[in-house]
Amino acid sequence: MESPRAFAADDDVHQWIEFKVGNCSIVLFRLEDDRGDHTAVTHVPWVYVDDLDAHLAQARSHGAAILTEIHQYGYRSYEAADLEGNRWTFLQARPGM
C-alpha cells in the first residue's frame, strides 16, 4: 500500500485523503454536515463502481436513502446514506481504472 496523500484547499485545511492499494484507491472527503441523529459526519468515501445504474438500483432496493440521483459534473455519480446514516458517493469508473 502506498502512503496516503492528503490534499488541502487554499486555507490549508485538508479536504480529502487518498489511499492506494494496487490498482485500487479509496478517497475520503471532508464534509461538514449533520446526520439525522445530529452526529457530525466528517468524511464521505468515494467509491468507483463499474455499473453506476445497476449499483443505484441495488442500493435503493436494499434500503439505502438516496440523497442525490445520478448526476454528471464531469463524472457520473450519486450520493446515498446507508442504514446507519453514513454518507457515500458512488461514481462510474472510467475505462482503465
pTM: 0.63
Residue 97, in any domain of the structure = no
Please tell me which residue, 36 or 69, carries the higher pLDDT value: 69
Count: domains in the chain: 1
Q: Do 34 and 41 contact (CB within 8 A), yes or no?
A: yes
Residue 35, in any domain of the structure = yes
Residue 59, pLDDT above cutoff 90: yes
Residue 10, in any domain of the structure = yes
CA 69 to chain centre: 14
Residue 65's domain comprises 5-92
Query: Tens digit of pLDDT for each residue in 38-49?
Result: 666 667 888 888
DSSP bridge partners of 63: none
User: Which domain CATH number covers 28?
Assistant: 3.30.720.110
Residue 41, in any domain of the structure = yes
- All cell numbers assigned to 53: 445504474
**Burial state string for 27-57 with b = 16 or more CB within 10 A and e = fewer than 16:** bbbbeeeeeeeeeeeeebebebbeebeebbe
